[in-house]
Structure 1
Amino acid sequence: MQKSELKTPYFMINEAKLIENLEQAKKLKEISGAKLVLALKCFSTWGVFNIIKPYLDGTTSSGPYEVKLGYETFGGETHAYSVGYSEDDVREVADICDKLIFNSHSQLSAHRHIVEDKTSIGLRLNPGVSYAGQDLANPARQFSRLGVQFDHIDPAVFESIDGVMFHMNCENKDVDAFIRLLDSVSETFGQYLDKLSWISLGGGVFFTWPGYDIEKLGLALKAFAHKHGVQVYLEPGEAIITNTTDLVVTVVDIVENGMRTAIVDSATEAHRLDTLIYNEPASIRESSKQGHYEYVIGSCSCLAGDQFCVANFEQPLEIGQQLHILDSAGYTMVKLNWFNGLRMPSVYCERSNGELHKLNEFNYSDFKRSLSQWSVE
């Protein structure tokens, strides 16, 4: 199979780039003594889990199906968390998770009897401080529903749980900013943390960002763990798969209305939803800041504002030309949808030896089945 034979749109995961990130994760583990569990909410493409498993300690989830997926396809430690469990959800995961983290005192009280003798129990705490570029993704935003606030804590609960989780970062590329958050958590909650056996510090710590001081982060985590006598966990998602995957698309038309727009056979609303939600323009491999030809890279959906970015090119774009939308692994394949009945991207992995492996392919029957399986007679 050659890349030239592949029909767009498709995702191409690069094994060599993935391993580069995983080697950084391995280094962090060695320095810090922390354990790392993959955040499936960011990346759940289990077809490449065999590449990831030797480097990480397990998975963490945000819903019952993710728990089952992690347990069945990744192994290691399976952590279960949800903002709001139903009783059925808890019963579904009770026998397959190693740690079950509740979001509130009331959830813990309502469901702990189901899992008390089966798994290690935790509670999410909200530290009231965070690092996030946008309020939409800020776990400590005003009126946050995520975790128990300090002034709402029932101290007695720490006599009957094993650990806590703090998730307080979103794409934090600043090690010093993270250490300040860590110090705040230690100072505010230290009296409770000393009673626990484990603490998860959540995800959003971008330790694979170029130039990130992994040694400084590792030593800070090691000191924190020693101070409170706990096993520390991190829940990386984006840090593991950043810059590993392209979304490859084809220009199907070029139109002009004040600006030239190259329409491609993909859509942010259907295939790269975070581009739309967070208004963060995508990057195109073939573009050039010095290029004289400027184009809107427009989606083929009917949503008027659905576009990937504005980019410049050295030469005019042509219909039939392929473009590579960079860094398209995180929060993409987990959010794919069938809006407009668009063709769903296939998913491939390019192995380190150059071989291409197909991980997933979709067709009309998948679209049809997602809408109904039976009709009213």
Structure 2
Amino acid sequence: MNKSLLKTPYFMINESKLIENLEKAKHLKEISGVKLVLALKCFSTWGVFDIIKPYLDGSTSSGPFEVKLGHETFGGETHAYSVGYTEDDVREVADICDKMIFNSQSQLAAYRHIVEGKASLGLRLNPGVSYAGQDLANPARKYSRLGVQADHIDTSVFESIDGVMFHMNCENKDVDAFIALLDAISEQFGEHLNKLDWVSMGGGVFFTWPGYDIAKLGATLKAFSDKHGVQMYLEPGEAIITKTTDLVVTVVDIVENDKKTAIVNSATEAHRLDTLIYDEPASILEANPEGEHEYVIGSCSCLAGDQFCVANFDEPLKVGQQLHIMDSAGYTMVKLNWFNGLKMPSIYCERSSGNIEKLNEFGYEDFKRSLSQWSVS
């Protein structure tokens, strides 16, 4: 398949770049003894799980459909977690998950009888400390609903569960900051952790970021595991797929209102939602910060503030020109939607051999079926 013939918009996952991240994950596992489970809430494109599975130990979820997907397409350990289960949710996944982690003591008490004898029981704890760039993504934010606060815990619960999960990092590229959080957890919950079989530290630890001290992280995780006698888990998402995928778009128009805007055939609200939610500008492969020609890279949605970024280029942009919006794997494909009835990006993988493999494409019938299933007369 010739890349130049592909119709935009589309995602292109690069297998070689993915393997670079996975090799770092493999090294971390070897030096620390930690187990790694892929966070499907970040990346669920199962067409490339054949690349990821040999390196990781399983998958973790935030809802029942993700549990099913992990069980069916990833294998290994399947961890089930939800902020709020219904009884139907629990019954739906109890037979196919290896660990079921509850968000509250009340949910644990209500549904543990369904899970006992089938899966390892866990509880999410909220240590009240975190590392997050924005309050929106901060699990320890004021009035947080995520996990049990230390002063609310009925300590007898530790006699009847197998493990606990903490998740208090968001894109944490600072190993020393993570170590400080681990130390705080050990001091706050140590006597309880000593009774357990496993501890998950959740996701958000960006150990594949350039220059990250993996050796230091590995030594810290091993020391924590040895101290409390527990199997340690991390739930990487972005760390596995960072810098592996471009969203390729085409300039369809150029308009000017004090600034020039290049309108592309994609939208943050439909195809790269976190750019909009967190107000974090995208990066364009073809851009040059020193370039003389500045453009707003605007979407083709009707939302007035829907834009990818402001970028400079060496030469003026032209209608029909393709742009590569970089680092577009995490929290993108899992959040695709049909806003404005825009064409949804196809998904491809460029294999290490150079071959282009189509993983999925979407058309009008997918849009129509997502809204109603009966015939319209």
- TM-score when normalising by structure 2: 0.99
Q: Give the structure 2 partner of residue 211 of structure 1.
A: 211
Q: Partner of 1:140: helix, strand, or coil?
A: coil
Give the whole-Å Cα distance in 1 for the aligned partners of 2:272 and 2:97. 30
Q: Which amino acid aligns with 1:121?
A: L
Deviations 1:291-343 (A, max 9, x none): 00000000000000000000000000000000000000000000000000000
Deviations 1:67-97 (A, max 9, x none): 0000000000000000000000000000000
Q: Give the structure 2 partner of residue 335 of structure 1.
A: 335
Q: How does 1:96-115 map to 2 (within 5 A)?
A: 96-115=96-115
Q: Report the CA distance between 1:374 and its aligned residue.
A: 1.2
Q: Partner of 2:263: helix, strand, or coil?
A: strand
Give the whole-Å Cα distance in 2 for the aligned partners of 1:213 and 1:353. 31
Deviations 1:343-374 (A, max 9, x none): 00000000001000000000000000001001
Give the whole-Å Cα distance in 1 for the aligned partners of 2:66 and 2:263. 34
Give the whole-Å Cα distance in 2 for the aligned partners of 1:142 and 1:286. 41
Q: Give the structure 2 partner of residue 369 of structure 1.
A: 369
Q: Partner of 1:270: helix, strand, or coil?
A: helix
Q: Report the CA distance between 1:32 and its aligned residue.
A: 0.5
Q: Report the CA distance between 1:117 and its aligned residue.
A: 1.0
- Report the identity percentage: 82
Q: Which amino acid aligns with 1:85?
A: Y
Q: Give the structure 1 partner of residue 85 of structure 2.
A: 85
Give the whole-Å Cα distance in 2 for the aligned partners of 1:201 and 1:289. 37
Q: Which amino acid aligns with 1:247?
A: L
Q: Report the CA distance between 1:376 and its aligned residue.
A: 7.5
Q: Give the structure 2 partner of residue 290 of structure 1.
A: 290
1:158 aligns with 2:145: no
Q: Give the structure 2 partner of residue 356 of structure 1.
A: 356
What 5-or-longer segments of structure 1 have no aligned partner?
A: none
1:141 aligns with 2:141: yes
Give the whole-Å Cα distance in 2 for the aligned partners of 1:285 and 1:92. 43
Q: Which amino acid aligns with 1:134?
A: Q
Q: Give the structure 2 partner of residue 56 of structure 1.
A: 56
Q: Which amino acid aligns with 1:130?
A: S
Q: Give the structure 2 partner of residue 28 of structure 1.
A: 28
CA RMSD of aligned residues (A): 0.7
Give the whole-Å Cα distance in 1 for the aligned partners of 2:46 and 2:376. 36
Which contiguous aligned blocks of 4+ residues in structure 1 show a shift greater than 6 angstroms?
Answer: none
Q: Report the CA distance between 1:249 and its aligned residue.
A: 0.1
Q: Partner of 1:107: helix, strand, or coil?
A: helix
| Number of equivalent positions | 377
Q: Report the CA distance between 1:157 and its aligned residue.
A: 0.4
- TM-score when normalising by structure 1: 0.99
Q: Partner of 1:70: helix, strand, or coil?
A: helix
Q: Partner of 2:252: helix, strand, or coil?
A: strand
Q: Which amino acid aligns with 2:64?
A: P
What 5-or-longer segments of structure 2 have no aligned partner?
A: none
Q: How does 1:1-377 map to 2 (within 5 A)?
A: 1-375=1-375
Q: Report the CA distance between 1:128 and its aligned residue.
A: 0.4
